[in-house]
Amino acid sequence: MKRGVNLAEVGLGRENDWNALIRLLQYIKGTWDHGLFYTKEHGASIATVYTNDTTHLDDPKWGTAIPQAYADASYAEDTGRKSRSGHVFMMANAAVTWYSKKQPVVALSSTEAEYYALSETVKEALWIRQLLDEVGVKLNDSTTIHQDNMSTMAIALNPIQHQRVKHMDVKVHFLHDHLEKQDVKIVYCPTEDMVADIMTKALPQRLHCKFTRLLGLRSLATLKGFDEPTYTNEQKF
Q: Distance between CA 96 and CA 144 in Å, rounded? A: 15
Q: Distance between CA 234 and CA 22 in Å, rounded? A: 10
Contact assessment for residue 75 and residue 83, using Cβ atoms and an 8 Å cutoff: yes
What are residue 200's phi and psi, to 5 degrees?
-110, -20
Q: In this predicted structure, what is the pLDDT of residue 116?
A: 94
Residues in the chain where the model's pLDDT stays below 50: 1-4, 42-63, 226-229, 231-237
Q: Distance between CA 91 and CA 62 in Å, rounded? A: 10
Q: In this predicted structure, what is the pLDDT of residue 164?
A: 64
Q: In this predicted structure, what is the pLDDT of residue 225?
A: 59
What structural domains does the chain harbor? Answer: 1-34+230-237 (no CATH), 38-215 (3.30.420.10)
Nearest to 103 by CA among 76, 77, 83, 73: 83
Q: In this predicted structure, what is the pLDDT of residue 104?
A: 93
Neighbours of 188 (CB within 10 A): 10
Neighbours of 8 (CB within 10 A): 13
Q: In this predicted structure, what is the pLDDT of residue 180?
A: 93
pLDDT digits (tens, 9 = 90+) for 167-202: 777 888 889 899 999 999 999 999 999 999 999 999
Q: In this predicted structure, what is the pLDDT of residue 237?
A: 39
Q: In this predicted structure, what is the pLDDT of residue 220?
A: 84
Report which DSSP code applies to 158: -
Q: Distance between CA 49 and CA 17 in Å, rounded? A: 49
